[in-house]
Amino acid sequence: MRKVNVEEKFAQFEETWSPRIVAELNGQHVKVARLQGEFVWHAHEHEDELFWVVRGRLTLRFRDGEQTLGPGELIVVPRGVEHLPVCEEETWVVLFEPASTVNTGTAGGERTVTDLPRL
Amino acid sequence: MRKVNVEEKFAQFEETWSPRIVAELNGQHVKVARLQGEFVWHAHEHEDELFWVVRGRLTLRFRDGEQTLGPGELIVVPRGVEHLPVCEEETWVVLFEPASTVNTGTAGGERTVTDLPRL
């Protein structure tokens, strides 16, 4: 059992939109992801997803509005809710979600990443 | 669906060792707790528990050692592992754990709190 320094984990990779797993508990993963630019519209059929911004600014667009989060802010996107993450600047985000969660949800496509590395 | 500013949630109460629920997802709760002094030795039979330090310093004593965490550090205490949280100074901690988790685990006793408030 070892503690995790979150910033040190972010420093171990540079790729954006490619989450890394840093902890696991109760069938959930804690992931770190660097985001920049626009992702793809998607939803997760069975998973609620938590975004916690550590650095930068994350806008989550929804079909009926949007929310912008800065450092120290978090949000839960319920299962089934379509969302589009957008970051003008490079943004560091911690994700809490079930181990079954795929980054592009039911949308799939070329931005999909599987077999996430563990840091 | 509204974002949560974590520091603002901590500012809404002063009581120590009395977690507040700030978000819920996938049967898990995200809680904020102010800690100061020594808690009680306990374990959770069925729940892994994540501690994320936002402010201050948290020492988790285990039967075979200890870990001390500062801001931006997290740790997962697996189910069944006895632990004793100790904070010399007031420390702000975010907890991520199943909704079924009781603060004193199987130890029970007067430090047990139930029906946690939601902020």
Nearest-angstrom CA–CA distance, B67 and A5:
12
What is the distance between the alpha carbons of residues B97 and B52, in angstroms, rounded to a whole number? Answer: 11
Inter-chain CB proximity A5 and B73 less than 8 Å = yes
Long-range (24+ apart) CB contacts under 8 A made by A45-48 are A45/A79, A45/A80, A45/A105, A45/A106, A46/A79, A46/A98, A46/A100, A47/A79, A47/A97, A47/A98, A47/A100, A47/A101, A47/A105, A47/B26, A48/A76, A48/A77, A48/A78, A48/A79, A48/A97, A48/B25, A48/B26
Q: Is residue A108 part of a domain?
A: no
Q: Which chain A residues are within 8 Å of B62, Cβ to Cβ?
A: 1
Share of chain B above pLDDT 70, in %: 100
* pLDDT above 90 for A1: no
Average pLDDT over chain A reads 97
Q: Do A23 and B49 touch (CB under 8 A)?
A: no
Domain range for B67: 22-98
CATH number at residue A52: 2.60.120.10
B45 touches chain A (CB under 8 A): no
Note the pTM of the prediction, 2 decimals: 0.96
Give the whole-number percent of chain A exceeding pLDDT 70.
Answer: 100
Q: What is the ipTM of this complex?
A: 0.95
Q: Is B11 a domain residue?
A: no
A54 within domain boundaries: yes
Q: Is the pLDDT of residue B1 over 90?
A: no
Residue A103 domain-assigned? no
**Which tens digits make up the pLDDT trace of A50-109?**
999 999 999 999 999 999 999 999 999 999 999 999 999 999 999 999 999 999 999 999
Predicted pLDDT at A113: 94
CB contact under 8 A, B3 and A74: yes
Q: How far apart (Å, rounded) are the C-alpha atoms in residues B85 and B61? A: 6
**Domain-located, residue B104:** no
- Note the pLDDT tens digit of each residue in B53-84: 999 999 999 999 999 999 999 999 999 999 99
Asked whether residue A119 is assigned to any structural domain, the reply reads: no
Q: If you average pLDDT over residues B40-56, what whole number do you get?
A: 97
Q: Which of A7, A24, A47 sits opposite B26 (nearest CB)?
A: A47
| Number of domains forming the structure of chain B | 1
A23 contact residues in B (CB cutoff 8 A): 50, 74, 76
Q: Tens digit of pLDDT for each residue in A22-48?
A: 999 999 999 999 999 999 999 999 999
- CB < 8 Å to B23, chain A: 50, 74, 76
Residue B109, domain member (yes or no): no
- Asked if the structure places residue B103 within a domain, the reply is no
